[in-house]
Amino acid sequence: MNLLTNINQAAYYLQAFWSVVVMSCIQPVNWEYCLPVHEWLFPALEEAWVIKTDPNFLYRNEREYLDRIKPIDDISNVEH
Q: What is the pLDDT of residues 19-70, one digit of tens each?
A: 999 999 999 999 998 999 899 999 999 998 898 899 888 888 888 888 888 6
Angle at 69 between CA 64 and CA 75, to 5 degrees: 135
Does 77 fall in a domain?
no
pLDDT at 56: 87
Asked if residue 7 has pLDDT above 90, the reply is: no
Residue 17: closest CA among 53, 62, 48 = 48
pLDDT at 77: 56
Place 71 in a pLDDT band, splitting at 50, 70 and 90. Answer: low
Does an H or E element contain 25, and which?
helix 23-25
- Give the range of the structural domain holding residue 11, as residue numbers without chain letter: 1-34
Same structural domain, 24 and 51: no
**Number of structural domains in the chain:** 2
